[in-house]
């Protein structure tokens, strides 16, 4: 039987250090984290896998959630450049692309189903799947978590991202590469 904290985090699969890092990255308490699904090159969490229901009972369909602030910032830049609209238009024009995205939707549902059945969100994945690309954060997180070849729009968006980690760690884990520089920048910005 798994051990969970009061926030629904799986303490048998996720370390307290990782939960602390995710909490710092998000600026709020990490909730329902069952796995660190992908890491940045510095070793900090980049994507978490979450339970399909939060501790209070609220359904939470987003199984893969990007947490690294540098990653999410880079993804937001892509969103502001109209990439989602371009991908959504391509879904209407390219049958193979649309079929691939439907398969990504099914994969997302199957992986969420591994964690529990939540009838309120049955058939609903995330990010607009399978008919449109509504959130690049979701499709990139899915790609990072499960690997290349499962979510084509996610793979494409990931390939478009600049190397967000090059300026060092987001600084949430003491001793991680670049953490001291990130802390120094934060200290300087607060002055």
Q: Parse the chain into domains and list their residue ranges.
A: 16-160
Torsion of CA 66, 145, 116, 10, to 10 degrees: -70
Question: Can you point out the beta strands (E) in the chain?
Answer: 33-39, 45-50, 64-66
- pLDDT truncated to tens, each residue of the chain (191 aa)? 789 999 999 999 999 999 999 999 999 999 999 999 999 998 999 999 999 999 999 999 999 999 999 999 999 999 999 999 999 999 999 999 999 999 999 999 999 999 999 999 999 999 999 999 999 999 999 999 999 999 999 999 999 999 998 888 886 765 443 344 334 333 333 33
Exposed, middle or buried by CB within 10 Å (0-12, 13-18, 19+), for 79?
middle
Number of H helices, E strands in the chain: 7, 3
Sign of the alpha-carbon dihedral angle for 65, 66, 72, 76: negative
pLDDT at res. 186: 35
Task: Give the residue carrying structure tokens 């609209």.
Answer: 85
Q: What is the pLDDT of residue 180?
A: 40
Q: What is the pLDDT of residue 80?
A: 97
Give residue 190's pLDDT. Answer: 33
Q: Are 166 and 181 in contact (CB under 8 A)?
A: no
- SS3 of 39, please? strand
| Cα atoms in the 13 Å half-sphere on the side-chain side of 182 | 20
Write the DSSP string, 76-92.
Answer: HHHHHTTHHHHHHHHHH
- In 3D space, the residue among 173, 182, 172, 143 whose CA is nearest the CA of residue 159 turns out to be 143
- pLDDT tens-digit profile of 51-93? 999 999 999 999 999 999 999 999 999 999 999 999 999 999 9
pLDDT at 120: 95
3 state DSSP class of 41? coil
* CA distance linking residue 164 with residue 69, whole number of Å: 9
pLDDT of residue 73: 95
Q: pTM score, two decimals?
A: 0.88
């Amino acid at each position: 039987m798994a051990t969970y904290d009061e926030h629904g985090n799986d303490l048998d699969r996720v370390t307290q250090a990782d939960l602390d890092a995710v909490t710092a990255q998000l600026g709020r308490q990490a909730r329902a984290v069952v796995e660190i699904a992908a890491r940045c090159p510095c070793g900090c969490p980049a994507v978490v896998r979450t339970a399909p229901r939060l501790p209070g009972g609220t359904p939470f369909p987003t199984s893969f959630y990007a947490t690294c602030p540098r990653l999410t910032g880079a993804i937001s830049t892509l969103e502001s450049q109209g990439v989602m609209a371009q991908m959504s238009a391509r879904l209407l024009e390219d049958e193979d692309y649309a079929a691939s995205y439907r398969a990504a939707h099914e994969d997302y549902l199957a992986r969420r189903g591994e964690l529990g059945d939540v009838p309120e969100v049955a058939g609903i994945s995330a990010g607009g799947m399978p008919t449109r690309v509504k959130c690049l954060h979701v499709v990139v997180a899915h790609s990072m978590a499960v690997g290349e070849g499962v979510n084509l729009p996610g793979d494409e968006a990931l390939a478009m991202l600049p190397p967000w980690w090059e300026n060092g760690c987001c600084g949430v884990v003491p001793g991680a590469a670049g953490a001291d520089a990130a802390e120094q920048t934060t200290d300087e910005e607060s002055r």
